[in-house]
Structure 1
């Protein structure tokens, strides 16, 4: 019978509990028989044997008695194990079945009628009048709503189906040895995950030994891993039986070679199995379960074994640069490559792993900075958005410390805690990575007369991508590249504290060397500032050194100028910052009404001052980059394409734009009007560029104020005279010029 919605709703799971109790009773009875036979039959005969019974018959009885007692014990253990498996199934299926009922109730509360097959249809009569009318006229929205609830019920049903099949696999599992085929399965345990881990272990062992699984074996392994990888008992039993970290590394290496070299046609299959193994590591190394003592014992042993396996050398074919040029890789490099295929790792595990890897390489801790060095690049190909693909070797974590930081970036809270400058450890970690670490992990060879000789080590093309991503996650509380929440601009104190520290550290370096911020981290820093738009606007737009209002970011304006100037070496990164500020400016201007603009109110003056100062500073920073880099470097940093028109907010923040009025204001500051500012800038000095932006950049801000005046009903004469001109627009011009002068002095090139 198929496990569908109708079957689940009508199922009576109490029979599983009853069966479990029956098997337990049977096990207890076999236990009693075992004890009675031992105490009253076997013991009595053995006592008599010592007195008078001798010979061949006595020997035969001894052998049979041992076998009988063993069989009673086996029957007892197997019956109790089956009872445990049935009770485990009952508990799991009951919980998941209840979830089906809960989702059904939630759907009905949302206005859905749920039929006997679990299909949802919107009941318009249950909705408030405004919602009812909306869905009556928007059939697509109605279909999407129904589809979303149908999917929730389908997911709940699938969880039951998978748990049912998983329990069946455990109950039908073959004995461990052939000896137990003809007797009771004394090795059987009462935990579904532990039983199924034995089957998984056998299949992964085949892979580790280089064997090819049949399609059926692959399907079984894929299902059992997906169904059990979140079970700590299953995961720990499996990893232990595979040989700990060394076994996991060897399996990963074998699957990686198949996926990327030997059997690329089945890449997805191999990567799926790799991902399952990574998730098992995640579950096994999480120390927050009920049995924390067991958790800790496993974790400490795993970590100790990993320290040994992490520096061990392993042969990987894909590192070859010729038939006689095979390279060995270190265990940590393979393990981090494995972890990149999974997720949900415990904070402690990620922190300890990163610290253990550092200890291996940090000369200050007795490590070897060259331990990860390999010949050739492992960055993959750089994409247009600045990321690297992993179609070939880009997936391999040749720099395992940077790699584990990339894994950590998926967990913003773990990243923040790792770098928190309020802790001695956090400050030390940042100092090491930002200033002290040897990032050159690529061996080079220079041609010599008869052979090659070693050249200077270099950084790989994707150097610091993990570091940059982890810092972005740590400062924003948001994993890079994922959807931004509506309240993205508000941050926890520890996130803002780290932002201040990062800005200050890299601003100091950029004040001396404008290219000091590493290339692969500039967009991460730009993304971060775009998550603090109001704070950056406060710092750029205010005259004094005042902590920002939104998050209390305590960075002075000169420091912020230096930091943005360093980030602006990358044109796309600069645009991210620029456009997020244009959205703030447009939003502030949009709050002004006719009286504010007509009478030059304090509110209008404040908006004019802050907007002019911020825009003037950004235009000056842009001019300084363009004046310094010139044509070929501008092309390299995509400056010639930086201002191609795009929808506001699309790059990073996903800022919600409500209505055409504010969108039109943003278009002026960040869209087509801004695009024209990068034209005809070649061969101009910084001073000439400042003049160019004053002539062509300032008018777009004035145009935003004029457009707002028209939106709120001001007439052309009102826009051309009075306090709107004498107060509001004069403040725009004055503060735009002040922003030029102030940020120009901060760059150190002109005053």
Structure 2
């Protein structure tokens, strides 16, 4: 079967294919009429006739057979029409995407797309007059991404063409005198059938010591990659394989690829693993309007419901045994599932019960997850494992994969961290909240013991994949967004705010657990992101509430209203900002929210409101945050083995980027009256905040480290002065943008802002 090329796909007119589909639809309608007439007319009359002898023995069966052929002809025509219809629709979509890439995107960037003899394309930048033809790395990366995208579209079209061709041959069959050889309702049926066929072939070959060829793996990779978001395909694929064979298949191709080290095989297996995870997320997501599978028993083609999920839990707890290089490898189904859960956004009706079952099983059987890597030490199989991602470890600890899945599935994550395990009907376990299970009880005790890495060697702090995944999951649970999403913040629900409030108290209860060499220090970066997410609420706590409404409402508030909670928040911020990246993130958020609050206060001021009162009201909460973060940084610098290097890390983090600024400013500007919500305003807000953030840098890391070591209090006093001066300038900026003149009363108010910020910055040592 010839390969579809770039020129084929770019140049071909698909009009005739669409016309053929329309013609076959007419044929389907006509044959349906004939089949109905034959069944309701000829067959009924034959059955009702009072025949005997030859008529009864020969004619009646002939009539039945003839009627069946009409019905089979209708079935075959309907299948052919379905293939042509879907192939036409899919190819039109792919061709449209290809022409958009070539005719619009490539031309806009002056990139030439050339078809190669093997059917793929090559992209090169065209010569530009008055140019030295030197491209930046960013431009080269863009060209490579465009080339890869175009080649993927060609491969996708080729797979559509091959799938339709295989289906048409099976529909027609080898007997030209008989209709009805294969029945398909859609091209998805054909492609899922082929994917299942290849997976089962892999299972069969593995039992005999073999494996799929590179050609077969490539075909399977394409089928799964192009259909991982297609509900019909994914449900058919997983229902046909069943949980056990799906996990066995995934495990064996991962183990083979990672152990053998062939780059092509490893790349294909990784793509299959990613697509199978995304496909599982698609297949287990109930369609809108369908019953929740956790409360209703529904098994149809729309999704993998309760029965399939119940079987998955059983298989997840059960051992799976493999033979590799004359060695026996025994793992559990959940360990394989963990590699799939890393990919895709899962519905909470599926992922939350799976997460709770996995934790329940782990609690009943501590160290329940075998680490067969130990059996391979010394064999040179450094990558041997289930997880084929570049990061994340070998995958023997399925909870790491589970947490990564939760990090991309916010609704499931929020539900999970508000839930608990234990006191089930048969588990015999004490009830423990899921947050306590991972972060420890109110005193910070009893947190989960994390699995070891490869060959029994505990992973270093920079490779604490499971703990980092925990942080990512908490980010999604508290924000309502996948942890790595660039989407703007949105109002928090009560459940999300409850998780954040609980995290604050747990960190404050045992700060040493979360900083320095603490067991959960790897989640500090995520704690910083969560703090930025809730910076409006944090400042509202320090303001003692916000009856004025100057601090923007961001939805439900965390339960931190008691006096002791304010102290817990102090400890939380000091602990979190022991991490330079968290410090930079919190600083960005604090400056953005303080700037927004100042602008709101000045813009919404009434005629009789004292502008000095507004200045104090707006700057105090942010100054309290700054006081805590300054102490957290000072303590971290003092405790570091290399104080100068640590001070430099803080500077570098402040310079690294301002990802939180746009997110916070985009939301905040729209709440201010009488000024536009985008364009130049967004620009000056970001620039003002960026300048304020960079003002937090230590002018000289050597001097800062020395001052912290010799006189911490003097260092903090210097920081208080800088922060107070910045608050004064921020007030002046807000006044200028509101169109107010710098009168004496405004100058007096600016001084009050300075004094209030200076005093609020002096957080008592804990």
The answer, yes or no, to whether TM exceeds 0.5 is yes
Report the counterpart of residue 285 of structure 2 in structure 1: 286
**Does structure 2 conserve the Cα–Cα contact (< 8 Å) formed by 1:201 and 1:241?**
yes
Deviation, structure 1 residue 40: 8.4
1:475 equivalent in alignment to 2:484 = no
1:368 equivalent in alignment to 2:329 = no
Matches within 5 A, 1:437-586: 438-442=448-452, 461-485=464-488, 488=489, 490-510=491-511, 518-540=520-542, 542=543, 549-551=552-554, 552-555=557-560, 556-586=565-595
Residue from 619, 627, 652 that aligns with 2:630: 619
Report the structure number with the largest CA radius of gyration. 1
Deviation, structure 1 residue 368: 0.7
Describe the shift of the 1:406–1:32 C-alpha distance in structure 2 as closer, same or farther (beyond 3 A).
same
Deviation, structure 1 residue 410: 1.1
1:199 equivalent in alignment to 2:209 = no
**Does structure 2 conserve the Cα–Cα contact (< 8 Å) formed by 1:286 and 1:349?**
yes
Report the counterpart of residue 15 of structure 1 in structure 2: 23
- 38-47 vs 650-659, which moves further: 38-47
Deviation, structure 1 residue 358: 1.9
Report the counterpart of residue 451 of structure 1 in structure 2: none
Report the counterpart of residue 139 of structure 1 in structure 2: none
Describe the shift of the 1:395–1:617 C-alpha distance in structure 2 as closer, same or farther (beyond 3 A).
closer
**Does structure 2 conserve the Cα–Cα contact (< 8 Å) formed by 1:85 and 1:191?**
yes
Q: Deviations over 1:404-443 (max 9, x none)?
A: 1211221223322333479999993323333355333239
Deviation, structure 1 residue 350: 0.9
Q: Deviations over 1:38-60 (max 9, x none)?
A: 848999559988xxxxxxxxxxx
**Separation of aligned partners in 1, 2:587 and 2:498:** 23
1:694 equivalent in alignment to 2:717 = yes
**Does structure 2 conserve the Cα–Cα contact (< 8 Å) formed by 1:252 and 1:334?**
yes
Deviation, structure 1 residue 166: 4.9
Deviation, structure 1 residue 558: 1.6
Deviation, structure 1 residue 86: 4.3
SS of 1:288's partner is: coil
Q: Deviations over 1:194-244 (max 9, x none)?
A: 3443322222222222455456545543444445444544434333433x1
Q: Deviations over 1:55-105 (max 9, x none)?
A: xxxxxx9xx999x799658745642432432454577579779989999xx
**Does structure 2 conserve the Cα–Cα contact (< 8 Å) formed by 1:361 and 1:369?**
yes
**Separation of aligned partners in 2, 1:29 and 1:374:** 66
1:432 equivalent in alignment to 2:433 = no
Describe the shift of the 1:159–1:264 C-alpha distance in structure 2 as closer, same or farther (beyond 3 A).
closer
Describe the shift of the 1:375–1:576 C-alpha distance in structure 2 as closer, same or farther (beyond 3 A).
farther
Report the counterpart of residue 355 of structure 1 in structure 2: 356
**Separation of aligned partners in 1, 2:149 and 2:236:** 32
SS of 2:331's partner is: strand
**Separation of aligned partners in 1, 2:176 and 2:688:** 78
Report the counterpart of residue 617 of structure 2 in structure 1: 606
1:676 equivalent in alignment to 2:686 = no
1:245 equivalent in alignment to 2:249 = no
Matches within 5 A, 1:214-363: 217-218=216-217, 220-242=219-241, 244-266=242-264, 267-288=266-287, 293-295=298-300, 298-315=304-321, 327-340=329-342, 342-362=343-363
Report the counterpart of residue 111 of structure 2 in structure 1: none
Report the counterpart of residue 138 of structure 1 in structure 2: none
Deviation, structure 1 residue 664: 5.7
Describe the shift of the 1:727–1:307 C-alpha distance in structure 2 as closer, same or farther (beyond 3 A).
closer
Q: Please report the RMSD computed on the Cα atoms of aligned residues, expressed in angstroms.
A: 5.5
1:171 equivalent in alignment to 2:168 = yes
Describe the shift of the 1:685–1:196 C-alpha distance in structure 2 as closer, same or farther (beyond 3 A).
closer
**Separation of aligned partners in 2, 1:187 and 1:399:** 44
**Separation of aligned partners in 1, 2:278 and 2:458:** 40
Describe the shift of the 1:687–1:611 C-alpha distance in structure 2 as closer, same or farther (beyond 3 A).
farther
**Does structure 1 conserve the Cα–Cα contact (< 8 Å) formed by 2:505 and 2:568?**
yes
SS of 2:620's partner is: helix
SS of 2:492's partner is: coil
Q: Deviations over 1:168-203 (max 9, x none)?
A: 543333789x9x798555553434433443322222
Deviation, structure 1 residue 288: 2.3
**Separation of aligned partners in 1, 2:629 and 2:304:** 54
**Does structure 2 conserve the Cα–Cα contact (< 8 Å) formed by 1:74 and 1:185?**
no
Describe the shift of the 1:352–1:634 C-alpha distance in structure 2 as closer, same or farther (beyond 3 A).
farther
Q: Deviations over 1:270-293 (max 9, x none)?
A: 222333333433333233278863
Matches within 5 A, 1:19-34: 19-25=27-33, 27-28=35-36
Q: Deviations over 1:351-387 (max 9, x none)?
A: 121122123222xxxx212211527699xxxxxxxxx
SS of 2:320's partner is: strand
Q: Deviations over 1:691-712 (max 9, x none)?
A: 2131245235415635875998
**Does structure 2 conserve the Cα–Cα contact (< 8 Å) formed by 1:645 and 1:672?**
no
**Does structure 1 conserve the Cα–Cα contact (< 8 Å) formed by 2:662 and 2:686?**
no
**Separation of aligned partners in 2, 1:8 and 1:455:** 58
Deviation, structure 1 residue 518: 1.5
Structure 1 unaligned spans of 5+: 50-60, 108-113, 123-146, 379-388, 447-453
SS of 1:18's partner is: helix
**Does structure 2 conserve the Cα–Cα contact (< 8 Å) formed by 1:421 and 1:497?**
no
Deviation, structure 1 residue 723: 5.8
Deviation, structure 1 residue 303: 2.0
SS of 1:676's partner is: coil
**Separation of aligned partners in 1, 2:374 and 2:546:** 45
**Does structure 1 conserve the Cα–Cα contact (< 8 Å) formed by 2:408 and 2:482?**
yes
Number of aligned residues: 655
**Does structure 2 conserve the Cα–Cα contact (< 8 Å) formed by 1:526 and 1:567?**
yes
Structure 2 unaligned spans of 5+: 109-142, 292-297, 376-386, 424-430, 441-445, 666-679
Q: Deviations over 1:242-272 (max 9, x none)?
A: 3x11111121122213432325321222222
**Separation of aligned partners in 2, 1:316 and 1:569:** 45
SS of 2:350's partner is: helix
**Does structure 2 conserve the Cα–Cα contact (< 8 Å) formed by 1:517 and 1:566?**
no
- 89-98 vs 212-221, which moves further: 89-98
Describe the shift of the 1:186–1:668 C-alpha distance in structure 2 as closer, same or farther (beyond 3 A).
closer
**Separation of aligned partners in 1, 2:194 and 2:401:** 32
**TM-score, length-scaled by structure 1:** 0.70
Describe the shift of the 1:549–1:252 C-alpha distance in structure 2 as closer, same or farther (beyond 3 A).
same
Describe the shift of the 1:640–1:480 C-alpha distance in structure 2 as closer, same or farther (beyond 3 A).
same
**Separation of aligned partners in 2, 1:444 and 1:262:** 17
Q: Deviations over 1:566-607 (max 9, x none)?
A: 22232221221123213334455678989x9xx963333334
- 497-506 vs 81-90, which moves further: 81-90
Describe the shift of the 1:182–1:361 C-alpha distance in structure 2 as closer, same or farther (beyond 3 A).
farther
SS of 1:572's partner is: helix
Deviation, structure 1 residue 403: 1.6
Describe the shift of the 1:256–1:71 C-alpha distance in structure 2 as closer, same or farther (beyond 3 A).
farther
Deviation, structure 1 residue 165: 6.4
